[in-house]
Amino acid sequence: MYFIGRNVDYAASLEASLKLKEISYIHSEAYTAGELKHGPISLLEDGTLVIAIATYEKLFDKMMSNVREVKARGAVVLGITVRGKEEALKQETDYQFCVPDITDFMLPSLSILPLQLFAYYVASMKGCDIDKPRNLAKSVTVE
């Protein structure tokens, strides 16, 4: 499973991938969508799930180009965008989720919420202990 995004959406991709790994023990990676052709795209095959975060208005068209690239290689794409971009997202992705359109500064914090819930429900369906993930501590002490 892969998460892709550009600019601030890449940061949300990193957090989403980490949460999924931490509580469901499923390997996932986050990549900046602009770097897909430099290697990560070779990992895609039919049925690979790619979650594309496309909330940043200035880079929306470039993200849709990246989505077309992963779809051409057989990926199943869940797209996350802001209200007002639903129709454009529906044309390019298999599944869609929309968040309210707020300031660009706050969008990563908002777009991560459905992805945290995604990780939660995946872990729950696998029977993982969500409240006490294995090998994780609430605080880290470096000595």
Instruction: Give the pLDDT confidence score for residue 38 in this predicted structure.
Output: 87
Residue 1: the pLDDT is 95
CA dist 50 and 71 (Å) reads 9
The CA distance from 123 to 125, in Å, is: 5
Strand 76-82 versus strand 29-32 pairing type: unpaired
pLDDT at position 139 is 67
Q: Give the chain's end-to-end CA distance (angstroms, integer).
A: 35
**What is the per-residue pLDDT for 134?**
86
pLDDT of 75-120, one tens digit each?
A: 999 999 999 998 999 999 999 999 998 887 888 889 999 999 999 9
- Cα dist from 42 to 39, 72, 136, whole Å: 6, 12, 31
User: pLDDT digit string (tens) for 18-36?
Assistant: 999 999 999 999 999 999 8
pLDDT of the residue at 52: 97
Query: 97 and 62 in contact (C-beta within 8 Å)?
Result: no
Local confidence band at 140 (pLDDT 50, 70, 90 cut-offs): low
The CATH superfamily holding the domain 2-126 is: Glucose-6-phosphate isomerase like protein; domain 1 (3.40.50.10490)
* pLDDT over 80 (residue 138): no
Cα–Cα distance between 20 and 117 in angstroms, integer? Answer: 10
